[in-house]
Amino acid sequence: MKGAKLVLFITGKCSKSCFYCPISKERCDQDVIFANEVEVDHIQQALAEARLINATGMGITGGEPLLEVERTCQFIQAFKQEFGPKFHVHLYTGLEPVPIDTVEQLLEVGLDELRLHRFSVGQDYPRLRKVTKGRARLGVEIPVIPGMLNQLKNMFRQLDEIGIDFVNINELEYSELNREELKKRGLLLDPGTMASVQGSEEEAINLLEWAAIETQLNVHFCPLTLKDGTQLRNRFRRRAKNVAKPFEQITEEGLLLKGIIIPPPDISLIAASEILLNKYKIPLDQFWINESRGRIETSTTVVHRLAKQLKVKKFQVGIVEEYPIISRFQVSFVPL
């Protein structure tokens, strides 16, 4: 919820084909690594991204991380070395059964928590419980598919007997890749939401209420608004604090707010920056030439102050908001 965990997407490869898989088309079946939104080639880049959000832990996901066990172990080891033993690492797997020697390997490099994200009879839960007991937390994290309440209750009863540490249930998510499969099964997008499947949240709440009375399980529900809203916003805020230039403001949403100035074709960016510096006495740390976007970036105060005068000289002036990520994806532009 605090957005304090790095999301390490260790590979897009996966041998399963769950109809509800929410992975993006770009990453599906691709052997790529992402640290949050940044594609990385080696561990150092992932460590740098973790520093930028002041990460206190990491969730390893995919694809199927255990198709790349060596790589996964190398990352865990490097992160534990860099940030210390308290840096909390959890890992998702859909493998069934999860090989016990693989779990041993993961525990040896410091894995703190194993989350099984499929429930199947092929899984050797008692053995997994035994090997992780006292060494790592063992949980199950699955989406709530409307219409499967009874199956889920059965599953919860079995997990209760095994003594699993926790169960996380997620609101089922519509994505580009699973849309057709969900539609085929009559699972529709909840109107007024970006990606929530109708009925998933209600069924999750029913399940929570039932589990509180009928089981000893420790159950958490994660709605999409939490994952795609609160968690992402908090992660953006953390990153923004470390990457904002002196003239960029951080919004409540964790976006970077600033002014932009685009000179007319007959005035170069350098010439325009000299005008700001010499004529309008804007200090050097209050603006920056963004060559790739063909503009000067500065504070909103500066553009508000100069808008009238610059527009007479055919400059374009406005205010933009950007994600505080490497691509600096621009979310809004308001011309002045």
CA distance 114 to 33: 20
At residue 202, what is the residue type? E
Which residue, 119 or 323, is less far from ligand SF4 as judged by CB? 119
Quick one: CA torsion of 107, 89, 47, 82, rounded to 10 degrees?
-60
**Cβ 105 to ligand SF4 shortest distance, Å:** 20
Which residue, 82 or 181, is less far from ligand SF4 as judged by CB? 181
> Given the rule CB under 6 A, which residues bind ligand SF4?
14, 16-18, 21, 23, 62-64, 94, 117-118
Which residue, 143 or 324, is less far from ligand SF4 as judged by CB? 143
The DSSP secondary-structure symbol of 146 reads T
Of 131, 9, 28, 26, the residue nearest 71 (C-alpha): 9
CA distance 25 to 41: 20
CA distance 143 to 80: 30
Alpha helix segments (H runs only) across the chain: 43-52, 69-83, 100-108, 125-132, 149-162, 179-184, 200-214, 224, 232-243, 269-274, 300-312
Which residue, 16 or 220, is less far from ligand SF4 as judged by CB? 16
**Cβ 98 to ligand SF4 shortest distance, Å:** 12
Which residue, 53 or 98, is less far from ligand SF4 as judged by CB? 98
Q: Which residue is nearest to ligand SF4 (CB)?
A: 94
Only one residue has tokens 């580009």, namely: 176
**Cβ 126 to ligand SF4 shortest distance, Å:** 22
**Cβ 195 to ligand SF4 shortest distance, Å:** 15
CA distance 80 to 127: 26
**Cβ 61 to ligand SF4 shortest distance, Å:** 8
Which residue, 25 or 313, is less far from ligand SF4 as judged by CB? 25
Which residue, 17 or 216, is less far from ligand SF4 as judged by CB? 17
**Cβ 274 to ligand SF4 shortest distance, Å:** 53
Of 180, 302, 328, 165, the residue nearest 247 (C-alpha): 302
The number of beta carbons lying within 10 Å of the beta carbon of residue 61 is 20
**Cβ 156 to ligand SF4 shortest distance, Å:** 20
